[in-house]
C-alpha cells in the first residue's frame, strides 16, 4: 500500500536521506532502526508530508496505493491525516495540552476530522480508550495529562491516532520514553491493532529487540541510506551489513521485550 521510491530528502540543501526505497504491504509491520541521526524520523515525516526545518523531498516519490503523496494539496492532506494515515510520537503526552482535560482535546480532535456531535465524540473517545485497555475511560477523559502516567498518556495518543481506523500508522519511537513493562504492553497493543484492523504500521525504533519482536521486516538505516533489510530472522541472524552486527552487539538482551 505504501511505496517509497528512491527518495532523497534535504534540509537546506544537505541530504539527510539518500536514495531510500521501501514497501509496506497492507497489514504489515516494518521497523526502521539504526543509529541516531541515520534519517529514520526524516523518512516517516516525509511520508506524512510534515518535514521539519524546511526539509524537502528532492528526488524520488512516495506512493500510497499507487498515488503520489508529494503532489497532495493541503486539502487532500487534511482529508488523509488523522484518518487514513496517522502518527504516534515518542511522547504523545506532549501533544495533549497540559492545561486542558484529555477528553476535551480528544473530542476536539475527533470533531476536526468528522461532523460528530460533542457528546457522541466524547463517547467515542471513552470507547477508544477502553479498546486500548485503559479501564475507566470516562475518568481518564476527565483527567489532566499530568494526572496520568507516561504509559497512559502514550496509550491515549495511540487511541487518538486509531480513532478513524487509519490504514497506515506511523510511529516514531513510540515506547522510548517508557519503562520496559509498559513498552511491552504498548508493543503488544500495536500488534493487536494490526490484527484487528489490518492497519499497516511503520515504526521507528532504535531498540532492535523491540523491532525484532514487533515487526515482519526490519530496515537498518545508516547515514540516510538503507544499510540492510530483511525479515527479523535475517537481521537477527547477523544481517548482511557490519552496521547490523554493531547494532546487535549493542543490544544487551534481545529476549528482554519478548519475556517482559
Ligand atoms: N529539522 C531539521 N533541520 C535540519 N537538519 C535536520 C532536521 N531534522 C533532522 N536533520 C538532519 O537529518 C539527519 C537525520 O535526522 P533524523 O531523521 O532525525 O534521524 P534519526 O531519526 O534517525 O535520529 C541528521 O543529520 C539531522 O541532523
Ligand atoms: Mg528520530
DSSP H/E element including 255: helix 255-259
Q: Which of 108-112, 205-209, 210-214, 251-255 bottoms out in mean pLDDT, i.e. has the lowest?
A: 251-255
The rounded Å distance from CA 206 to ligand 2 centre is: 9
State which of 39, 53, 90, 206 you would mutate to test the pocket of ligand 1, scoring each by most atoms of that ligand within 8 A of its C-beta.
Answer: 39
Would you state the pLDDT for residue 39? 96
Nearest CA to ligand 1 atom 24: 37
Nearest CA to ligand 1 atom 25: 37
Name the band, by pLDDT with cuts 50, 70 and 90, for residue 46: very high
Q: What is the mean pLDDT of residues 172-180?
A: 84
Would you state the pLDDT for residue 253? 54
pLDDT at 259 over 50: no
Would you state the pLDDT for residue 178? 79
Q: Which atom, in ligand 1's list, is nearest to the CA of 206? A: 22
Q: Is the dihedral of CA 226, 231, 234, 235 positive or negative?
A: positive
pLDDT at 258 over 50: no
Nearest CA to ligand 1 atom 18: 41
The rounded Å distance from CA 39 to ligand 2 centre is: 7
Would you state the pLDDT for residue 229? 92
Confidence (pTM) = 0.89
Q: What is the mean pLDDT of the chain?
A: 89
Would you state the pLDDT for residue 176? 81
Q: pLDDT tens across 49-101, in order?
A: 999 999 999 999 999 999 999 999 999 998 899 889 999 888 777 778 889 99
pLDDT at 113 over 80: yes
The rounded Å distance from CA 194 to ligand 1 centre is: 29
Reduce the DSSP state of residue 36 to 3 states and report it: coil
Q: Quick check: 227 and 243 in contact, CB under 8 A?
A: yes
Q: What is the mean pLDDT of residues 92-121?
A: 90
The rounded Å distance from CA 122 to ligand 1 centre is: 37
pLDDT at 131 over 80: yes
The rounded Å distance from CA 184 to ligand 2 centre is: 20
Distance between start and end Cα atoms, the chain: 32
Domain ranges of the chain: 1-84+170-260, 87-163
Ligand 1: lining residues by beta carbon, under 6 Å = 11, 16, 36-42, 52-53
The rounded Å distance from CA 176 to ligand 2 centre is: 11
Nearest CA to ligand 1 atom 12: 16
Contact residues for 166 (Cβ-Cβ < 8 A; gap 6+): 82, 83, 84, 85, 86, 199
Instruction: For domain 1-84+170-260, give the fold.
Output: Rossmann fold (3.40.50)
Name the band, by pLDDT with cuts 50, 70 and 90, for residue 252: low
Q: Which of 59-68, 153-162, 242-251 bottoms out in mean pLDDT, i.e. has the lowest?
A: 242-251
Give the whole-angstrom CA distance, residue 78 versus residue 94.
21
Amino acid at each position: 500500500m505504501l511505496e517509497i521510491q528512491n527518495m532523497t530528502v534535504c534540509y537546506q540543501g544537505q541530504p539527510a536521506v539518500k536514495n531510500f526505497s521501501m514497501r509496506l504491504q497492507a497489514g504489515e509491520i516494518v521497523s526502521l532502526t539504526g543509529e541516531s541521526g541515520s534519517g529514520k524520523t526524516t523518512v516517516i515525516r516525509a511520508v506524512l508530508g510534515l518535514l521539519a526545518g524546511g526539509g524537502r523531498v528532492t528526488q524520488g516519490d512516495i506512493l500510497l496505493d499507487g498515488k503520489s503523496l508529494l503532489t497532495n494539496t493541503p486539502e487532500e492532506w487534511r482529508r488523509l491525516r488523522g484518518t487514513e494515515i496517522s502518527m504516534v510520537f515518542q511522547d504523545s503526552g506532549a501533544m495533549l495540552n497540559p492545561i486542558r482535560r484529555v477528553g476535551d482535546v480528544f473530542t476536539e480532535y475527533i470533531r476536526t476530522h468528522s461532523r460528530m456531535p460533542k457528546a457522541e465524540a466524547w463517547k467515542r473517545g471513552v470507547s477508544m480508550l477502553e479498546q486500548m485497555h485503559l479501564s475507566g475511560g470516562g475518568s481518564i477523559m476527565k483527567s489532566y495529562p499530568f494526572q496520568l502516567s507516561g504509559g497512559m498518556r502514550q496509550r491515549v495518543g495511540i487511541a487518538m491516532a486509531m480513532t478513524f481506523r487509519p490504514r497506515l500508522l506511523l510511529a516514531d519511537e513510540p515506547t522510548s520514553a517508557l519503562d520496559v513493562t509498559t513498552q511491552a504492553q504498548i508493543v503488544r497493543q500495536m500488534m493487536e491493532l494490526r490484527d484487528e484492523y489490518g492497519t499497516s504500521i511503520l515504526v521507528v525504533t532504535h531498540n532492535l529487540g523491540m523491532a525484532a519482536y514487533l515487526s515482519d521486516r526490519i530496515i537498518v538505516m545508516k547515514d540516510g541510506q538503507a544499510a540492510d533489510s530483511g525479515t527479523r530472522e535475517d537481521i537477527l541472524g547477523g544481517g548482511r551489513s557490519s552496521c547490523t552486527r554493531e547494532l546487535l552487539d549493542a543490544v544487551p538482551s534481545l529476549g528482554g521485550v519478548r519475556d517482559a
